[in-house]
Amino acid sequence: MIAEVIVDVAAYPIDRPFDYAVPAEWESVMEPGLRVKVPFGPRKVVGYVTAIKMHSELDSGKIKPVLEIIDLEPVLSTELLALSKWMAAETIAYEIDALQVMLPAAMRAKYEKIMRVVKPELLDDSFREFLGNREQVSLKALQDAHLLNEVKKYSEQGIVQIDTAIQQKTKMKKVRMIHIPDTAHLESALEETHSNAKKQVELLQWLLLHPSKSMEASEIMNKSGVKANVLKALLDKQVIEQSQVEVYRELDAPKMRDSGKPEQLTDEQQSALSAIEQASDKKKQETFLLHGITGSGKTEVYLQAIDHVLKKGKEAIVLVPEISLTPQMTARFKGRFGELVAVLHSGLSSGEKYDEWRRIHRGEVKVAIGARSAVFAPFTNLGLLILDEEHESTYKQEESPRYHARDVAIWRADYHRCPVILGSATPSLESYARATKDVYTLLTLTKRAKQQALPEVQVVDMREELKTGNRSMFSVALADGIRQRLERKEQIVLLLNKRGFSSFVLCRDCGTVVECPNCDISLTYHRSSESLKCHYCGHEQPVPIECPECASEHIRFFGTGTQKAQEELYKLVPEARVIRMDVDTTSTKGAHERLLHDFGEGKADILLGTQMIAKGLDFPRITLVGVLAADTSLHLADFRAAEKTFQLLTQVSGRAGRDQLPGEVVIQTYDPEHYAIELSKTQEYVPFYELEMDRRRQLGYPPYYFVTVVQFSHEDVLKAADYAHKGTSFLMEQLSSESVIIGPTAAAISRLNNRYRYQCLVKYKQEPALVPVLQKLLKHYKTSWAKDGLVMSINREPTAIF
Residues annotated within the binding site for Zn(2+) are 507, 510, 516, 519, 534, 537, 547, 550
Could you say which of ligand ADP, Zn ion, none residue 798 binds, taking C-beta under 5 to 8 angstroms by partner kind?
none
Least distance in angstroms from the C-beta of 465 to Zn ion = 15
Q: Strand 706-714 relative to strand 35-40: parallel, antiparallel, unpaired?
A: unpaired
Cα distance between residue 464 and residue 470, in whole Å: 9
Alpha helix stretches (DSSP H) within 573-657: 591-600, 641-653
Q: Which is nearer to ligand ADP, 297 or 657 (CB)?
A: 297
Could you say which of Zn ion, ligand ADP, none residue 552 binds, taking C-beta under 5 to 8 angstroms by partner kind?
Zn ion
Q: Does 450 bind ligand ADP (CB under 6 A)?
A: yes
Least distance in angstroms from the C-beta of 617 to ligand ADP = 10
Which pairs count as long-range contacts for 714-721, CB under 8 Å and 24+ apart, including other chains? 714/755, 714/756, 714/789, 714/790, 714/791, 715/754, 715/755, 715/756, 715/789, 716/756, 716/789, 717/756, 719/788, 719/789, 719/790, 720/755, 720/756, 720/757, 720/758, 720/790, 721/756, 721/758
Could you say which of ligand ADP, Zn ion, none residue 264 binds, taking C-beta under 5 to 8 angstroms by partner kind?
ligand ADP
Could you say which of ligand ADP, Zn ion, none residue 504 binds, taking C-beta under 5 to 8 angstroms by partner kind?
none
Q: Which is nearer to ligand ADP, 47 or 297 (CB)?
A: 297
CA 262, distance to chain mean position in Å, is 26
Q: Which is nearer to Zn ion, 637 or 649 (CB)?
A: 637
**Among positions 4, 300, 315, 593, the unique one binding ligand ADP when judged by CB under 6 A:** 300
Q: Which is nearer to ligand ADP, 84 or 294 (CB)?
A: 294
Least distance in angstroms from the C-beta of 548 to Zn ion = 8
Q: Which is nearer to ligand ADP, 178 or 421 (CB)?
A: 421
Distances (CA, A) of 756 to 315, 381, 796: 47, 47, 21
Whose CA is closest to 200, among 155, 236, 153? 236
Count of residues touching ligand ADP (by CB under 6 A): 16
Least distance in angstroms from the C-beta of 700 to Zn ion = 13
Q: Which is nearer to Zn ion, 83 or 547 (CB)?
A: 547
Q: Which is nearer to ligand ADP, 296 or 713 (CB)?
A: 296
Could you say which of ligand ADP, Zn ion, none residue 449 binds, taking C-beta under 5 to 8 angstroms by partner kind?
ligand ADP
Positive or negative, the CA dihedral 22, 28, 33, 34 is negative
Q: Which is nearer to Zn ion, 147 or 516 (CB)?
A: 516
Could you say which of Zn ion, ligand ADP, none residue 534 binds, taking C-beta under 5 to 8 angstroms by partner kind?
Zn ion
Distances (CA, A) of 122 to 118, 125, 128, 431: 9, 9, 9, 55
Least distance in angstroms from the C-beta of 618 to ligand ADP = 6
Q: What share of the chain is helix, strand, coil (3-state, %, to 5)?
A: 40, 25, 40
R_g (Cα) of the chain, nearest Å: 30
Q: What is the DSSP string of 367-393?
A: EEEESGGGGG---SSEEEEEEETTT-G
Give the Cβ contact number of residue 235 at 10 Å: 15
Could you say which of ligand ADP, Zn ion, none residue 300 binds, taking C-beta under 5 to 8 angstroms by partner kind?
ligand ADP
Cα distance between residue 313 and residue 392, in whole Å: 30
Could you say which of Zn ion, ligand ADP, none residue 292 binds, taking C-beta under 5 to 8 angstroms by partner kind?
ligand ADP
Q: Is the peptide bond between 17 and the residue preceding it cis, with omega within 30 degrees of 0?
A: no
Least distance in angstroms from the C-beta of 727 to ligand ADP = 44
Q: What residues between 595 and 634 interact with ligand ADP by CB under 6 A?
A: 618
Per the DSSP assignment, residues forming a β-bridge with 176 are: 244
Cα distance between residue 189 and residue 183, in whole Å: 10
Could you say which of Zn ion, ligand ADP, none residue 263 binds, taking C-beta under 5 to 8 angstroms by partner kind?
ligand ADP
Q: What is the DSSP string of 185-252?
A: HHHHHHHHS-TT-HHHHHHHHHHHHS--SEEEHHHHHHHH---HHHHHHHHHTTSSEEEEEEEPPPP-
Q: Which is nearer to ligand ADP, 302 or 639 (CB)?
A: 302
Q: What residues between 241 and 270 interact with ligand ADP by CB under 6 A?
A: 263-266, 269
Point out the annotated binding site.
507, 510, 516, 519, 534, 537, 547, 550
Q: Which residues of this protein are in contact with Zn ion, per CB under 5 A?
A: 507, 509-510, 512, 516, 518-519, 534, 536-537, 539, 547, 549-550, 552
If you ran DSSP here, which 8-state letter would residue 771 be given? H
Cα distance between residue 629 and residue 668, in whole Å: 5
Least distance in angstroms from the C-beta of 520 to Zn ion = 9
Q: For the chain, give the number of residues.
A: 802
If you ran DSSP here, which 8-state letter would residue 23 be given? P
Residue 338: which region, alpha, beta or left (left: phi > 0; alpha: psi -120 to 50)? left
Q: Which is nearer to ligand ADP, 416 or 655 (CB)?
A: 655
Q: Strand 740-752 relative to strand 755-764: parallel, antiparallel, unpaired?
A: antiparallel
Whose CA is closest to 392, among 426, 437, 367? 426
Are the CB atoms for 299 and 448 separated by under 8 Å?
no
Q: Which is nearer to Zn ion, 1 or 519 (CB)?
A: 519
Least distance in angstroms from the C-beta of 792 to ligand ADP = 41
Q: Does 299 bind ligand ADP (CB under 6 A)?
A: yes
Q: Which is nearer to ligand ADP, 234 or 420 (CB)?
A: 420
Phi–psi pair at 447, nearest 5 degrees: -120, 150
Cα distance between residue 175 and residue 718, in whole Å: 63
Q: Which is nearer to ligand ADP, 189 or 256 (CB)?
A: 256
Distances (CA, A) of 408 to 112, 345, 411, 703, 761: 31, 20, 5, 19, 24
Q: Which is nearer to Zn ion, 740 or 791 (CB)?
A: 740
Could you say which of Zn ion, ligand ADP, none residue 297 binds, taking C-beta under 5 to 8 angstroms by partner kind?
ligand ADP
Least distance in angstroms from the C-beta of 299 to ligand ADP = 3
**Among positions 298, 336, 391, 402, the unique one binding ligand ADP when judged by CB under 6 A:** 298
Could you say which of Zn ion, ligand ADP, none residue 547 binds, taking C-beta under 5 to 8 angstroms by partner kind?
Zn ion
Could you say which of ligand ADP, Zn ion, none residue 722 binds, taking C-beta under 5 to 8 angstroms by partner kind?
none
Cα distance between residue 785 and residue 727, in whole Å: 10
Could you say which of Zn ion, ligand ADP, none residue 512 binds, taking C-beta under 5 to 8 angstroms by partner kind?
Zn ion
Are the CB atoms for 625 and 656 separated by under 8 Å?
yes
Least distance in angstroms from the C-beta of 600 to ligand ADP = 13
The edge-to-edge listing of strands for the beta sheet with 382-388 is 341-344, 367-370, 315-319, 382-388, 420-424, 287-292, 441-445
Q: Candidates 10-18, 298-306, 535-543, 561-569 — which segment interacts with ligand ADP by CB under 6 A?
A: 298-306
Least distance in angstroms from the C-beta of 451 to ligand ADP = 9
Q: Binding string to ligand ADP for residues 268 to 297, with x set by CB under 6 A, is what?
A: -x----------------------x-xxxx
Cβ partners under 8 Å of residue 734, min gap 6: 769, 773, 776
Could you say which of ligand ADP, Zn ion, none residue 618 binds, taking C-beta under 5 to 8 angstroms by partner kind?
ligand ADP
Binding site for ligand ADP (CB under 6 A): 263-266, 269, 292, 294-300, 449-450, 618
